[in-house]
Structure formats: structure tokens, C-alpha cells
Chains A and B, each alone.
Chain A
Amino acid sequence: MNILDITGKEMLFFDGGMGTLLQKRGLCPGELPEMWNIEKSNEIIEIHLEYLNAGANIITSNTFGANLLKFPKDGKTSLDDVVGAAICNAKKAIEKCGDKKDKFVALDIGPCGRLLKPLGDMEFEDAVSLFAETVKAGARAGADLILIETMNDLYETKAAVLAAKENSNLPIFVTNAYGTDEKLMTGASPEAVCATLEGLGVNAIGLNCSFGPGQMLPVVKRLCEVSSLPIIVNPNAGLPAFKDGKTTYDITPDEFADIMTEIAKCGAHILGGCCGTTPEYIEKTVKKLTDFKPKPVTEKNISVISSYTHAVCFGNEPIIIGERINPTGKKLFKEALRNHDIDYILNVGLKQEEAGAHVLDVNVGLPEIDEVETIAEVVQKLQAVTSLPLQIDTSNPQAMEKALRLYNGKPMVNSVNGKKESMEAVFPLVKKYGGLVVALTLDEDGIPESAAGRCAIAEKIYAKAAEYGIKKKDIITDTLAMTISTDSSAAKETLTALETISNVGGLTSLGVSNISFGLPSREFINASFFTMALTKGLSAAIINPHSVEMMKAYKSFMALSGFDKNCESYIEFASTVSASQTLETPKSANATADDNTLKSAIIKGLSESAHAIAVQMLETTDAFDVINTEIVPALDIVGKGFEEKKVYLPQLLISAEAAKAAFDAVKEKMSKSGNNQTKKCTFVLATVHGDIHDIGKNIVKALLENYGFNVVDLGKDVAPEKVCETALKLNAPLVGLSALMTTTVPAMEETVKLIKKALPDTKVVVGGAVLTEEYANAMGADKYCSDAMETVRYAEEVNSTL
């Protein structure tokens, strides 16, 4: 019998804690509990049996920490043997208990013990591979289902789920460990977790560990609101805690059972226990709920996407999708893509977030670059800096798959259309990884002119999606804004189609600005069309959030439609717009009229003023003069102040940022005139392999950039080979490496040796908290620098000899 036949229809019961029971039976601290599967299998069987006798239906194998990190391939005991024995023990216990009906063995998978990037040092795909081995072993041994539990990071949860999906056909149950703030340790809300896991197609979700059942109630309620899946709740028996100098203790089995009954009434379907719970806790809970019928599992008609922190719902308030991460028609963006300037792209994203976007569209397609690798890198790096959900925008199925795989959460997918080829490429990916997919109303015959034609394609796409098991709520239809400059009825057809779809409960989206292609002052038309579409029920708009006209239309619509309580958001917005016409750089309180020279603006660290003055100066002054008479001397003054210990390092950095704002103005001017000869030599920068502390490196980078060096920043935790390859490829005269702790100094040494071998003339400069000049000399580096200014001075010296 498959457990899914009864899951959600009747109450099911997990077992309780294993650790405490093992300790009672003599497990020593430091001993691997999983070894008992082989060495003391009878003890394990007895524990399982106790839980079965207490009324548990699902017993979890003793494999919480059974992974390749603890049982490596070259170790004494193989992972296969440990997992195989564990499943076998659980099965034996079921045999022994006599009543085999509705009894199941769950392959237990806990966290791998390392944190994934960008917070930790483990690669997502490495985590998938790691879990895959445990899954394969469990499936081979005959587990009935997989329980992924105690996960306190959404990204790691996704890795484990993918491993389970790709290496077995078993039902997948997932429980996460929430904190008292009702989030996972790495920030995900229950709604974000639910959206992500439902998207990935797991069979039941819930929570375990962390605390006792009472404290779990709020999260249980939130999950019940949004989940279309059965809910699992496996609390601790409370935990001994120490607060305000007082100790609070466990709850008794009777109290536990009482609260678990409450939890069942809230809508949970599968109950059990975690740390500290014993067969008694389970027995009392089962007895209390003997004749209890759980609430039926209902399909929630919620259209939702999520980032690694929060969910964004569609169908109520209209959602703004920032369109700026896209090279189409953007010279600087294209250049950034070609030069692999990921920071530029991240900034485009961050600025849109500041401007009020709810979702960021990500399109990095350019014929001359490797889109698959680029989108993978951009998605991961964007998710390191912004908590907004992303819309993966590509027509390349390989790039789409890679991005969907690496995305932390449930993304939007842009796009599918009515062509058979498109649907056959996109829908399997959406089914596997989850996503809210944008459906363009066009097909093999092109874009129908009439609204009816577009609606027909929308219906066709819904129907095809359903064949793949993708629900209507996960499709958002774009009825395609076409320019009115060539067809004056274009807007009307688009809006009629939009309204028709919206009226039958479909979601809609538009790339709004296409409407005005070929017309002057496009924003006037765009904004009016946007308002018209919003009144027809538009669910999401792909727009430029820096456009004042568009944001005016949006904020006004929100206020007029009653979405904006007390018009608060509108009032806040209106105050910024009256102050300036662009939304890109909200005026800082520090920018005053006194700072009238570029030099003084930079010295004081006033970025907005520096940019504005530079723009003004460039009208009449040569770009090189602006750099040489204003920007560089200003930086030198602050730099000297720092060296003379009169200025704090952050003050130097603030001035550097102001200088950068001025440089940006110079760059804009130069890119317009086709001149781009401002750079000094290339400086490759990296924080060494294994090191995740990159603040020092970032400081060095900021200053070097301001002194005109072409800085290629490889980031943190960079393999020696990668640093060497990059330096070789760019024939870089300078490489800078940072390391924080003694544990990563060997990696630095290795990197230095590799570079010196491949590029004997390249100067390698090293720095970091534990380094000294002697250390640097011993490892063969050319220079040790104790701070960022010293690095700049050295780089200038090297540059002048080239």
C-alpha cells in the first residue's frame, strides 16, 4: 500500500525522538548514532517496536546524520551499509509488531552539517549530490517514503528535495525547523517555504524540532492557511531553556497530547515527536485522537512565488516587476555583460528594489556570451544581495533549467507561449522545479489581432499545462501590448483580452511599454495605458520602476483602489517626486548647496552632490581635467589623512563612493563619446579558497577602482586555479589576495605559488588579519600590505613601471 492513499484522509502518526532513547541505552557522547544500525541493531529494532506499539504508523530510520560527510567513501563503514541496515531494522520492527497494516518506513534525512552559499561555503550542487547518495541507498533498501527533516535553511531543503526526486520515486515529506520569529534560521517565512516546496512537488510539509508543541501553533496556523498539502507536526517535548536567569523545563506526555489535539483541530494531518519525546508521548497523543477525523486537505487557490525569505501573492494587489536587468537597447549593460561585470548587474537590481519593485526580471541573453553560465551566476549573486523574488527571463531552455535549479525559492518563469515546441520545453521544467509561468498569447500562427484569438491561445496553454499537472493558478497570461503607432486599435484588443481572462479568474501580466513603440514622449502613453490595464484587472506589470510617470500611475491607482491604507504609500511617494523628477537617486539629507566644488563634495563624502557637480562640470570641462584636477586630488587628500591616522577608514570609503559617483558621470559622458581610455592596469582580486570573510578585499577593491584600476573581483572562497586562470587570461600585472584566518593561509600560499609559476612577472600582493610581512615573504608573495591605502600605493608603483 502506498502511504499517499491515506495521507491527509486519516490521522497518521510519526514516531518520536531517537537520540534520548539511544543515550538511555548507552550511546556515548561523540559516538555516531548511525553506527548502532549495524553494531547494535537489536537496540534499534526495539526502539522502533516501542513506537509501533505506542501507535505510530510511520517509523523513521536511524539515519539523521547518515551522509557522505560522516561516512565518506574511503571510510571504514560504507554509507550504503549504514542506511541499508537502518531500513532493514525498521522493517524488522514492523514484522515483529505483527500488525503490518498502515505501517511505513521513512528514510530519515537531516541537514548535512554545513551551510550552503552564499552564507556558508557549500555549493548547492554539492549538497544535491551528497543527499543523492543517501536517497539512493534508502530507496535500494526499500524505504516507503523519504522524510527530509529539521532543515533550517530553505536552500538546503531544496537540495535535499531535488536529490530525492531525481533518485527515487518515493513520496517526499518535508519538515522544517522554525525559530521563535516564525522563520527558518536563514530567513524563510512559512509561506515562502510552502510555496517553494509545493512548487517542487513534495507530498506533505510541516515542521519539527526547535520547540514544544505550544510554540508551534502560530506556524501551524500559518501553514494551514496557505498549504494545499497535508501538514506534519513533530514538536520537541519542550526544551530546557534559560531565560532571564531562570530555567524552564520540559512538558509532560499528557500536556503534549493535549496541545497536539489542538494542533490536529487546527488542520494538521500527521503528528509525531522530535527531541525529548518518547513512546509515552506518542501513545498519549494517539489515544487522544483515536476517532479524530482530520480536516480535509483543500486546494488553496493562491498564486504565489517566493524568494528565500518571503512569498509574493498575485491576484490581489498588482505586482511590479522591474525590467531593467536586460541588455536589450542598453549599451552599458551589454558592455557589463561582455566584461563579466556582475557588480553592475547587481546594482541595477538593488536600485530597482529601492525604487519599489516587488520582483526582478532577469535577462542576460547576449549572443556572444555563455547565457547558461551567466544566468546561473547572476541568479545566485542577486540572491545574495536582494531578498526580492526573481523572474527568470530566457528563451534558452538550458539556461532556464539551470536558473530554476539554482534559484532559492519559487520563481516566476518568463516565458512560455502557445507554440508546441515552447510548451514542450518549458512545462516539464516548471513541473519539476516549480514556478509561476508567464504565458504569451502567441503561437505558430503569430500574434492574433483580435482579443478572442488571444484568449483562445490562453485557453490552449491552460489545457496543455494541465496535462503536465501545472495548475491554472501557476499561469499568468500576457495578452501582449503592441504598439499603437501602427495599429490604433492595438491597445483595445490587448485590454479586452486581458479583461476577459481576468473575469474568469486568470492572472494577467503585460510588458507595458511596448504600447508606445515609435511614439515621442512614450512615458505619457505608457502611464495611461498602465492605468487602463490596472482597472481591467492586471495582476502584474513589467515596467521600469525608475520611471516617475509609471510609478505615479501605480501609486495613484493603489490609493484610488483602496489598496493603500490612509494613502500612506502615496503620500510618501508624492513627497519624493515633488523633490526631484527622477527616482533613481533619492536626495540625501546631506547634500547641501555649500558643497559646490567637486573636490569638497568628495572629501565630505557626498555622493549625490559629487555626481551632480561632475555632470555639470563635464558640460564645459574635459573629462581628464575633471579626473586629474578634482577627483584624484580629493581622494589623495583623504587618503593621506587616513595614512596620517587623521581619518577613519570608513570615511575614506565614503569619499571613495562619492568619487565613484563622479567617475560614473565621467564614464557616462565617455561612453557617449565612444572614448573609454581612463583605466590603469588590470588588478585581479580574490579572497582565497575556504575564506568567506571578504570585507577587507571589498575595501581594497573600492579604493583601487577609484584610483582608476581595472579591478576584476573574483569574490570570496575562490579556488587557486580560478585566480591563476583569470590572471593568465587577462595577463594581469597585479593580483591581490586576502585571507582572514590561519586556516586559510595555506590556500593563499598555494594560490601565490600557482600564479608565480604561470606568471613570474605578475606581482602578487597579500593582506589579511593574520598575515605579516615575514609570512608574505615566506609564501613567495611580492608584497604584504597592512591596509587598503598601502595596496593602492603599491599598485600605482607597479602601474608606473609598465
Chain B
Amino acid sequence: MNYDLIYSHKADKNLIIPPRSEILRYLGEKGEENEVLKNLIDEIQNMVSEKALPTGTFVLKKIMVHNEKVSIGDIFFSSQKLAKNLAGCHSAIVFSLTIGSSVDRLMQSLVSKPAAEFVASATGSAFVESYADLFNKEIKDYFGNENKYLRPRFSPGYGDFSHSAQKDIINMTDASRRCGIYLTKALMLTPTKSVTGVIGIGATNYNCPSYGCEACDKTDCISRRS
């Protein structure tokens, strides 16, 4: 893989099956799944899979980490948590992934069925995270041969890694043009079921705990992974 060359990523969506437990987590883990809810989730999950079009772009960048700052290519990010995640790395994969706008359209079309809309949103979230997991695994397999170790992926919004970094990541990965990912004025990703982030590559197998929920300070969040 060459530095600074932007690669496209495609995935077979049939390989992306979000775990039921993750969908339920996004629905607010409470109570027992009754028959009606079970059927609804099954039905919506099929619809989301049908509509989803997992695509992404990524780029391999040289990085430098010191104290609370990280430079990726020519751009500096101030984030203690990101610096901790990337400590010891000299390069990183910067990526933007989405499951496409059709899933947003699906959610909007369910406007008169709030339960279905909510389940579609939760399933979409779980789906794009599963896609990110799959992407992560492919990257890991690729570099695994070269005796390099990957850090857990780290996204803007985790800990003190500012959402504004999404702008730089989208630019670095040419994600607007290549896979239709845009930012709104308020730094929200569209399509809404999209993920941007950084995967550090280090020479040692350093076990980094800062990942997803575990990196977040909001300990009372209803969606927090236990």
C-alpha cells in the first residue's frame, strides 16, 4: 500500500451482519424482546441490508505523535486520547465509510411508524459499525503479514478528539466525491450512517484500551457498551 494514495473500499454486504445484541443496545437495552418487537427487528434488518451500499475510501498517512498532539500528513490534531491511542505509531490508515443514503431514505419513509423508524436507525448504526469492523479486519489481515500491529480504530467524537476533525478526514480521503459523504454545517455526517476514523499502525503489539465507548467520558450514556 502506498502512502497518500486514496483507495476505494467496497464490501460484500452479505458479509455484514450486525449482532443482535448491538441493535438492541442502540434500542436501549431494557426488558425482554417480545414477539412483535422480534418480528419488527427481523423485518427491518432485511430492509436495511437490502438498502445498504457499503462503500468507503481510505489513505495511508505518515503520522507523528507527541504529548497531546498528533500530526497526520500535514494536519495537526490536538487530542490527548488520540495521542494515547496512536502512541508509538508512525503511520495510520485514515478512513471514511458509509452504508449510503438509501438507508436514510428508508428511515424517512417510515415517518408514520416511529417504532420501525427507530429500529431502522438502530439497525443502520449497528450495520455501519459492523462494516467498520469488517474494514478493520481486512486492513489488519493485510498488514498482519508485514509484522505490523494495528490500534483499535479511533473516530472524531471519541473522548477529546474533536468532531471538527471529520472535515479533514473527509478531505484527506476525498470521501465526498468518492462515496458521497458530506458534512453539515454543524459537523454531522451525511449520510447519517457513516463513520470516519483513524487506525494507527505500530511496530509493537501495544494493547490500547481507548476504543469506542471505553474512550468516552460520558459514563451515564444509555447506549454505553457495558
- Chain B residue contacts of A787, Cβ below 8 A: 28, 222
How many angstroms between the C-alpha atoms of A385 and B134 in the bound complex?
Answer: 31
Total residue contacts A-B, CB cutoff 8 A = 197
The secondary-structure label for the interface of chain B is mixed
Q: Which listed residue (B32, B36, B117) contacts A695, Cβ 8 A? A: B117
Q: Which listed residue (A114, A243, A769) contacts B10, Cβ 8 A? A: A243
Q: Which of A667-719 contact B (CB under 8 A)?
A: 690-693, 695, 698-699, 701-702
Q: Which of B1-54 contact A (CB under 8 A)?
A: 1-2, 4-10, 24, 27-28, 30-37, 39-41, 53
Q: Which listed residue (A350, A650, A691) contacts B118, Cβ 8 A? A: A650
- B80-88, B99-107, B203-211: which lies at the A interface? B99-107
A242 and B101 contact, Cβ closer than 8 Å, known pairs A605-B36, A743-B163: no
A30 and B27 contact, Cβ closer than 8 Å, known pairs A181-B53, A243-B10, A692-B192: no
How many angstroms between the C-alpha atoms of A221 and B163 in the bound complex?
Answer: 42
* Residue A244, interface by CB 8 Å: yes
* Residue A565, interface by CB 8 Å: no
Q: Which of A581-625 contact B (CB under 8 A)?
A: 590, 604-606
Q: Which listed residue (B75, B109, B115, B157) contacts A650, Cβ 8 A? A: B115
- A118-126, A265-273, A487-495: which lies at the B interface? A118-126
B33, A245: Cβ atoms closer than 8 Å? no
* Residue A6, interface by CB 8 Å: no
Q: Which of B107, B115, B142, B191 has the most CB of A within 10 A?
A: B115
Q: Which of A115, A210, A691, A702 has the most CB of B within 10 A?
A: A115
B110 nearest in chain A by CB position? A385
How many angstroms between the C-alpha atoms of A100 and B117 in the bound complex?
Answer: 59
- A157-165, A193-201, A638-646: which lies at the B interface? A638-646
B13 to chain A, nearest CB (A): 11
* Residue A474, interface by CB 8 Å: no
How many angstroms between the C-alpha atoms of A187 and B109 in the bound complex?
Answer: 14
* Residue B190, interface by CB 8 Å: yes
B114, A698: Cβ atoms closer than 8 Å? yes
* Residue B68, interface by CB 8 Å: no
Q: Which of A228-266 contact B (CB under 8 A)?
A: 239-245, 247
A72 to chain B, nearest CB (A): 13
A126 to chain B, nearest CB (A): 11
B225 to chain A, nearest CB (A): 15
A693 and B53 contact, Cβ closer than 8 Å, known pairs A646-B30, A646-B31: no
Q: Which listed residue (B109, B117, B121, B177) contacts A209, Cβ 8 A? A: B177
* Residue A657, interface by CB 8 Å: yes
A186 nearest in chain B by CB position? B101
How many angstroms between the C-alpha atoms of A241 and B4 in the bound complex?
Answer: 13
A26 to chain B, nearest CB (A): 14
How many angstroms between the C-alpha atoms of A241 and B7 in the bound complex?
Answer: 5
- Chain B residue contacts of A28, Cβ below 8 A: 74
B105 nearest in chain A by CB position? A187
B76 to chain A, nearest CB (A): 12
Q: Which listed residue (B1, B36, B180, B183) contacts A654, Cβ 8 A? A: B36
* Residue B182, interface by CB 8 Å: yes
B151 to chain A, nearest CB (A): 19
- Chain A residue contacts of B73, Cβ below 8 A: 29
* Residue B226, interface by CB 8 Å: no
Q: Which listed residue (A243, A646, A698, A741) contacts B186, Cβ 8 A? A: A741
0 or 1 for each of B119-155: is its CB under 8 Å from A? (1 = yes): 1010000000000000000100110000000000000
Q: Which of B149-196 contact A (CB under 8 A)?
A: 157, 163, 171-172, 176-180, 182-188, 190-192
0 or 1 for each of A640-669: is its CB under 8 Å from B? (1 = yes): 011001111111011011000000000000
* Residue A41, interface by CB 8 Å: no
A743, B186: Cβ atoms closer than 8 Å? yes
B141 nearest in chain A by CB position? A245
* Residue B91, interface by CB 8 Å: no
* Residue A346, interface by CB 8 Å: yes
- Chain A residue contacts of B178, Cβ below 8 A: 210
A381 nearest in chain B by CB position? B111
A648 and B33 contact, Cβ closer than 8 Å, known pairs A118-B108, A185-B100, A185-B101: yes
A242, B7: Cβ atoms closer than 8 Å? yes
* Residue A386, interface by CB 8 Å: yes
Q: Which listed residue (A30, A119, A150, A350) contacts B105, Cβ 8 A? A: A119
B101, A657: Cβ atoms closer than 8 Å? no
How many angstroms between the C-alpha atoms of A245 and B145 in the bound complex?
Answer: 11
A590, B186: Cβ atoms closer than 8 Å? no
B192, A693: Cβ atoms closer than 8 Å? yes
How many angstroms between the C-alpha atoms of A346 and B108 in the bound complex?
Answer: 11
How many angstroms between the C-alpha atoms of A604 and B34 in the bound complex?
Answer: 9
Q: Which of A210, A244, A649 has the most CB of B within 10 A?
A: A649
- Chain B residue contacts of A769, Cβ below 8 A: 221, 223
- Chain B residue contacts of A111, Cβ below 8 A: 176-177
A690, B186: Cβ atoms closer than 8 Å? yes
* Residue B96, interface by CB 8 Å: no
* Residue A78, interface by CB 8 Å: no
- Chain B positions within 8 Å of A, measured between CB atoms, are 1-2, 4-10, 24, 27-28, 30-37, 39-41, 53, 55, 58, 73-75, 100-102, 104-105, 107-109, 111-115, 117-119, 121, 138, 141-142, 157, 163, 171-172, 176-180, 182-188, 190-192, 218, 221-223
List the 9 shortest-distance A-B pairs measured between CB atoms, nearest first: A185-B180, A690-B186, A653-B115, A702-B114, A121-B184, A115-B182, A242-B7, A241-B8, A645-B30
Can you report 26 residue pairs joining A to B where beta carbons are below 8 Å apart?
A28-B74, A115-B190, A121-B184, A150-B177, A152-B180, A177-B177, A187-B105, A209-B177, A239-B8, A240-B2, A242-B7, A350-B111, A387-B105, A387-B109, A647-B30, A647-B31, A648-B31, A650-B27, A650-B115, A690-B186, A691-B188, A693-B188, A693-B192, A698-B117, A743-B186, A786-B222
- Chain A positions within 8 Å of B, measured between CB atoms, are 28-30, 111, 113-115, 118-121, 150, 152-153, 177, 179-181, 185-187, 209-210, 239-245, 247, 343, 346-347, 350, 384-387, 590, 604-606, 641-642, 645-651, 653-654, 656-657, 690-693, 695, 698-699, 701-702, 740-744, 747, 769-770, 786-787
